[in-house]
Amino acid sequence: MTESGKPMNIVNENVVGSDSGLQTIASSERTEVDTDTPPFVFETIDLNVYYGDFRAVRDVNLTVAKNEITALIGPSGCGKSTVLRCFDRMNDLIETARVDGRVLYHGLDLYGPDVDAVEVRRRVGMVFQKPNPFPKSIFDNIAYGPRISGMAKKKADLAVIVERSLRKAALWDEVKDRLSSSALGMSGGQQQRLCIARAIAVDPDVLLMDEPCSSLDPIATTRIEELMKEIKDEYTIVIVTHNMQQAARVSDRTAFFSVEVNEQSDARTGILVEADATEKIFSTPADDRTERYVTGRFG
Amino acid sequence: MALSSPASIGGGTSRAMTAGLTGKSFDVKSKMVEAALVLTLAASMLILLVLIVDLLATSWPLWTDRPGDFLTGSLNSANAQSAGVWQGIKGTLMLCLVVMVVAFPLGVACAVYLEEYSSGSRFAKWTRINVRNLAGVPSIVYGLLGLAIFVNAIGGFTGGRTVFAGGLTLAALVLPIVVITTSEALRAVPRPIREGAFGVGATQWEVVKDHVLPAAAPGILTGTVLSLARAAGEAAPILLVGAATGLLRTGNQSFVEQLTGPFTAMPVVIFSYARQPDDAFREATAAASVVLLALVLLMNALAIWLRNRYDRKW
Ligand SMILES: Nc1ncnc2c1ncn2[C@@H]1O[C@H](COP(=O)(O)OP(=O)(O)OP(=O)(O)O)[C@@H](O)[C@H]1O
Ligand SMILES: [Mg+2]
């Protein structure tokens, strides 16, 4: 990707919600940028998120391209999780949270009046920072999503999906003999891979991962990074990470967020400083703040 | 680095480093606090113990004399020698059944709505405060409510002064408790479980029925059984609703006929025995109290068993 990180402001009301929305946006984009620019899966336009009166992030304009791994990095509290949770409307679950601006998913406004948040979450899977398996068996943890979405009803069909998902998450060999035992008896790293398997079992379009490796040892971390690279042909991945090496190793594009402190009110607001190809962010970033952060010299 | 072993720090011997670690020192303050706590605990246990011992001692002649006769005999206001509590036991169990069938589903439904569907709304906050107030309303007031509504206003439906009306009154009494304990059990379900379920595309109802309710079930069941025990022990409201205190005739009625017929219950039996001037009734009063205590303790034991049986870890 060679585009300069400037926000894209094409909003074509006519195509929103139609099946051809993806193509229309992509082709109008083509007239401006390179022809090989991948179509955008997500695009935020002047995204502001508030928790009550507190503005957590301000005017975020970010794009996420198809079949790429996009990393969100930045200091703690800068709003990475907040932005990530806008992509599958997880913020709906927080009563005080309010989203302002637009989040386009293949051109469709996710916060539009008749968008079904449940449908959105079926297509946009999420892996949380802390492993959160259901207090059920390993099998049921993974079979739950396919079962409720009607992908498979019969036990045999579900078994196929469970095995496929566990294999993709590099967990099959470790658990294939104890699928019916409780998921809570697994190690933290296994639980996290189980959550990844659970997320991909419903065959989503996008996988959002919020610091998926923060509780894992280096071996499990490597496994998950390999997994991400393997599955990115099928999925689009957005990952939040505090680990700079990890962002550099796995991601295609990196978005750097920072905190802006208001002199008068002392309010801390998250902002998107820049988003660009990962090599560029880590070698010749456009912004000083990015350079200071990625080289470990900040403050 | 000089920190490789403790003994090497400052050149001290290992004995110097471990000095004081093994000697027994006596921490007076914490021992005193501990003793005070044990004393208060003992005092409250003692009260309970005295109560039970006294009841058992007073009723002992009766238990040795005619235990089966007392448990299966019928309420008798004239003759202490032939008085029995069978109708009271049956009445209490039937009241509990009505309470269970009415208050449990209603209370759980209310709590699910308040916590899962409208938790942040002004309406929910307002309702929650009022439910707490309702739980504090004295039981005699519920008796008046039962008399006005279940006996008089919809007497055609309940049959007037019946088990059904009494059960409904007690259900109204424990409903706030069921709502509160269920709400607490629902709130104790960790947010990540909900997020995980929403994350794979579950609807609100699927999250509630597949994850939140099963995880909260032990708490809900325990709370419900405890509220049943509370209902079983209430005398005032059902007295107002019209439980029989005197002689009660019951033949071989069907279940439904009994449900809509005159009734009595253990607390009311105790009440009416205690009012008898005849000293011979002291024994019967104590014995009836033992029976009620046993019923309530049995329910509490059931609650504890349920909690242990279905306790979940997450
Ligand atoms: N549920 C919430 N209610 C109120 N404020 C919140 C809530 N969640 C997050 N915030 C605030 O929003 C800001 C951004 O939080 P967010 O969790 O998005 O940061 P983050 O970049 O993910 O941080 P970290 O790297 O520590 O996870 C923080 O100041 C945080 O205190
Ligand atoms: Mg975060």
Residue B126's pLDDT is 93
Confidence tier at B42 by pLDDT (50, 70, 90): very high
| Interface pTM, i.e. ipTM | 0.82
Residue B273's pLDDT is 86
Query: CA–CA separation, A283 vs A273, rounded Å?
Result: 16
Question: Which residues does B contribute to its contact with A (CB < 8 Å)?
Answer: 119-120, 190-203, 206, 210-211, 215, 312-314
Query: CA–CA separation, B77 vs B260, rounded Å?
Result: 23
Residue A14's pLDDT is 40
Query: CA–CA separation, B298 vs B30, rounded Å?
Result: 37
Query: CA–CA separation, B176 vs B182, rounded Å?
Result: 10
Give me the architecture of the A13-132+206-294 domain, per CATH.
3-Layer(aba) Sandwich (3.40)
Beta-strand pair A236-240/A206-210: parallel
CB contact under 8 A, A199 and B199: yes
CB contact under 8 A, A128 and B193: no
Query: In chain A, which residue ranges form alpha helices assigned H by DSSP?
Result: 21-30, 80-86, 117-123, 138-149, 155-168, 172-175, 188-201, 218-231, 244-250, 278-283, 288-294
Query: CA–CA separation, A102 vs A45, rounded Å?
Result: 5
> What integer is the mean pLDDT of B185-193?
93
Query: CA–CA separation, A46 vs A68, rounded Å?
Result: 22
Query: CA–CA separation, A271 vs B140, rounded Å?
Result: 61
Q: Name which of A115, A165, A162 is nearest A139 in CA terms.
A: A162
Residue A28's pLDDT is 41
Residue of A132, A165, A195, A196 for testing the chain B interface, max B β-carbons within 10 Å: A132
Confidence tier at B190 by pLDDT (50, 70, 90): very high
Q: Does B130 score more than 60 pLDDT?
A: yes
Q: What is the pTM of this model?
A: 0.80
Q: What is the pLDDT of residues B285-297, one digit of tens each?
A: 999 999 999 999 9
Confidence tier at A97 by pLDDT (50, 70, 90): very high
For a mutational test of ligand 1's pocket, the pick from A72, A80, A261, i.e. the residue with the most ligand atoms closer than 8 A to its C-beta, is: A80
B285 — phi, psi (to 5°)?
-60, -50
CB contact under 8 A, A119 and B201: yes
For B29, counting Cβ atoms within 10 Å of its Cβ (0-12 exposed, 13-18 middle, 19+ buried), the class is: exposed
Query: CA–CA separation, A236 vs A105, rounded Å?
Result: 12
Q: What is the pLDDT of residues A28-48, one digit of tens each?
A: 443 444 444 457 899 999 999
Structure tokens at B2: 């000089």
Residue A266's pLDDT is 82
Residue B312's pLDDT is 56
* Domain ranges within chain B, ordered by starting residue: 87-244+252-310
> What integer is the mean pLDDT of B54-59?
91
Confidence tier at A238 by pLDDT (50, 70, 90): very high
Confidence tier at A95 by pLDDT (50, 70, 90): confident
Query: CA–CA separation, A63 vs A275, rounded Å?
Result: 8
What average pLDDT does chain B have? 86
Query: CA–CA separation, B278 vs A257, rounded Å?
Result: 86
Share of chain A above pLDDT 90, in %: 58
**Domain spanning B87-244+252-310: which CATH class is it, in words?**
mainly alpha
Residue A187's pLDDT is 87
Residue A299's pLDDT is 43
Confidence tier at B77 by pLDDT (50, 70, 90): low
Confidence tier at B246 by pLDDT (50, 70, 90): low
Q: Name which of B229, B226, B222, B188 is nearest B307 in CA terms.
A: B222
C-alpha distances out from residue A74 to A78, A81, A248, A273, B66, Å: 7, 11, 13, 9, 81
Residue A22's pLDDT is 34
* Domain ranges within chain A, ordered by starting residue: 13-132+206-294
Q: Does B75 score more than 80 pLDDT?
A: no
* Exposure letters A194-221 (e unless 16+ CB within 10 A, then b): bbbbbbbbbbbebbbbbbbbeebeeebb
Residue A61's pLDDT is 94
For residue A128, which residues of chain B lie inside 8 Å, CB to CB? 192, 195-196, 199
Residue B282's pLDDT is 87
Q: Does B262 score more than 90 pLDDT?
A: no
Q: Does B35 score more than 90 pLDDT?
A: yes
> What integer is the mean pLDDT of B4-18?
61
Residue A144's pLDDT is 95
Q: What is the pLDDT of residues A5-30, one digit of tens each?
A: 444 444 444 433 434 333 333 344 43
Residue B313's pLDDT is 52
For residue A135, which residues of chain B lie inside 8 Å, CB to CB? 193, 215, 312-314
Q: Name which of B206, B190, B150 is nearest B173 in CA terms.
A: B150
What average pLDDT does chain A have? 84
Report yes or no: A195 at the B interface, CB cutoff 8 Å: yes
Query: CA–CA separation, B124 vs B129, rounded Å?
Result: 9
For A80, counting Cβ atoms within 10 Å of its Cβ (0-12 exposed, 13-18 middle, 19+ buried), the class is: buried
Residue B119's pLDDT is 80
Residue B303's pLDDT is 85
C-alpha distances out from residue A175 to A79, A179, A184, A185, A187, Å: 36, 6, 13, 11, 11
Q: What is the pLDDT of residues A122-178, one digit of tens each?
A: 999 999 988 999 999 999 999 999 999 888 888 899 999 999 999 988 889 999 999
Element (H, E) at B161: none
Least confident span in A248-257, B206-215, B239-248: B239-248
Residue A4's pLDDT is 44
Query: CA–CA separation, A119 vs B198, rounded Å?
Result: 10
Instruction: Give the range with max mean pLDDT: A265-274, B11-20, B301-310.
Output: A265-274
Q: Does A232 score more than 70 pLDDT?
A: yes
* Exposure letters A120-155 (e unless 16+ CB within 10 A, then b): bbbebbbbbbebbbbbbbbbbbbbbbbbbbebbeee
Which of left, alpha, beta for B27 (phi over 0: left; psi -120 to 50: alpha)? beta
Query: CA–CA separation, A33 vs B168, rounded Å?
Result: 73
Cα–Cα–Cα angle for A201, A206, A210, nearest 5°? 90
Confidence tier at B248 by pLDDT (50, 70, 90): low
Three-state DSSP state, B186: helix
Three-state DSSP state, B215: helix
Cα–Cα–Cα angle for A236, A239, A240, nearest 5°? 160
C-alpha distances out from residue A206 to A8, A42, A120, A200, A239, Å: 21, 10, 10, 9, 11
Confidence tier at B263 by pLDDT (50, 70, 90): confident
Nearest residue, CB atoms, A184 vs list B202, B210, B314: B314
Least confident span in A127-131, B177-181, B279-283, B285-289: B279-283
For residue A198, which residues of chain B lie inside 8 Å, CB to CB? 196, 200
Query: CA–CA separation, B195 vs A90, rounded Å?
Result: 8
Structure tokens at B225: 């059984």
